[in-house]
Structure 1
């Protein structure tokens, strides 16, 4: 059986991997082929890198705040 590209449908699965086809397929035999699977969750390596970047940014921000805070307290003592 030949399938034209405009006949292809993209559906998302539920949390258990099921696809709702619709009532037009009720009581019919349906053959489905999985042509591509996309992961909608971030890759572990990318996620780890993002956490590392956020941690470094937070550390830098905390260091800058300490400097500014010390300057502000020193200014109050004058």
Structure 2
């Protein structure tokens, strides 16, 4: 997965006036700053999708580990 560390930053005032150009050039995360403090992060869609998929995988791993000690129940497909 691509790194989430922002490679660029933009002041919120610039974002208001140049949103289209900033988004068009944002192939990596961009930090949105207000009064020299980070307030938001613009993340490309592909990276966002990868993050969501990774979070889902982590949740599934947590469920598997939580259920490892449970007894196995045999089920036939015709019973479902």
Q: Is TM-score (shorter-chain normalized) higher than 0.5?
A: no
Where relative contact order (Cα < 8 A, 6+ residues apart) is larger, the structure is 2
Structure whose residues are more often strand by fraction: 2
